[in-house]
Amino acid sequence: MDLNFPPLKNDRILRAARGEETDKVPVWVMRQAGRYLPEFRATRVNHDFFSMCQTPEVACEVTLQPIRRFPLDAAIIFSDILVIPQALGMEVLMKAGEGPVFTSPLVTPEDLNLLETPVNVDDKLGYVFKAVNLTRHKLEGKVPLIGFAGAPWTLMSYMIEGGGSKTMSKSKAWLYRYPEESHKLLQILTDAIVDFLVGQVRAGAQMLQVFESHAEYLSPDLFTQFALPYIKQIQERVRTKVDVPMCIFPKGGHFSLEQLSSAGYDIIGLDWTIKPEEGRQKVGPNITVQGNMDPCALYGTKESIQLVAKNMVHRFGTQRYIANLGHGIYPDVDPEHLAAFIDGIHDA
């Protein structure tokens, strides 16, 4: 693997992550390589979703598409949080109009015996590392490259629910009914996630994000017991091997922000349902915040989008801040509206 990378020309996001002064607010967007782009849809015609993830040249190409089109301050590797369950031997399909579907979800704790552990990430997920390395070179130093993984609770809930869910009742039932086995599964996932994140950095990723996308389904007590310890452990173990800024994004987890501020992450991501001032106050002055425009604001006029973006920067402040949406961009958004958002941030 070639680690002789081109020099970085724009380190704005890394400076913000470290709490250093930035000339402008850095901005990137979750799912910025995605279906809202016509060039992505053209690439997708010839590949199913996971084959795109598993083909380094294709994953690299779609990662670069938004960077060519917009003045973004970071690229994020095109992949999916569910590559970890796949590496554990579970079959996951991406079905049109339905999203991810597990053909054989976990039903009882005995099913843990079917998981292929421990995971050799180089063997099972080497395609992601190849994509990261190729993309880092093809970026030619234009912007940093972000690697990522799903957090253990979020992955556990997918593996038990068998896909998306409005209640997460099957996976939450495990937490109440099988607490010991739940911890066993969460530890299996944590071990794989740590190796996966470290592998991405060693391949060329310059920043990491951990997605706790299902934080909102947990009570504060369940979060403290079944999510927080593993989120902390990931940060601690990754740091013993590599040193890059790390972000934790607990979607809907406002109740967890004070606890997460002592979990060792450089950045905490906020969704759109919290006031910027409140998010700042909960996180404290020594951590960078990221977020949090409502993705649906991109359906407004270009003028209204720029006003919302500038107001958001005004409320968060220009330092120790990374602008983003409060979740991923939706597939039917006009790319020109995303351009208006980015311009509004940089002009604020």
Tell me which of 15, 44, 237, 315 is the catalytic residue: 44
In our burial notation (b when 16+ CB lie closer than 10 A, e otherwise), range 200-237 reads bbbbbbbbbbbbbbbbbbbeeebbeebbbbbbbbbbeb
Quote the crossing angle between the two packed helices 335-347 and 302-316, to the nearest 10°.
40
Tell me which of 11, 36, 136, 158 is the catalytic residue: 158
The token pair at 269 is: 């991501």
Residue type, 326: G
| CA–CA dist 87, 127 (Å, integer) | 11
Residue type, 327: H
Known active-site residue 35: yes
Torsion of the alpha carbons at 233, 236, 88 and 96, rounded to the nearest 10: 90
| CA–CA dist 88, 202 (Å, integer) | 22
Tell me the C-alpha to C-alpha distance, in Å, between residue 129 and each of 133, 141, 148, 197.
6, 18, 11, 10
Question: Is there a cis peptide before residue 292, judged by omega within 30 degrees of 0?
Answer: yes
| CA–CA dist 130, 128 (Å, integer) | 5
Tell me which of 11, 36, 73, 80 is the catalytic residue: 80
Cβ distance 274 to 293 under 8 Å? no
User: What number of CA atoms fall less than 13 Å from residue 101's CA on the CB side?
Assistant: 8
Known active-site residue 80: yes
Cβ distance 259 to 228 under 8 Å? yes
| CA–CA dist 328, 306 (Å, integer) | 18
| CA–CA dist 9, 28 (Å, integer) | 16
Report the run of H or E that residue 44 belongs to, with start and end.
helix 38-44
**Gyration radius from the chain CA atoms:** 19
- The residues facing 324 across adjacent strands are 292
Report the SS3 class of residue 62: helix
Residue with tokens 């967890």: 256
Tell me which of 15, 35, 202, 237 is the catalytic residue: 35
Tell me which of 12, 31, 280, 320 is the catalytic residue: 31
Known active-site residue 31: yes
Known active-site residue 12: no
Which residue numbers are catalytic? 31, 35, 44, 80, 158
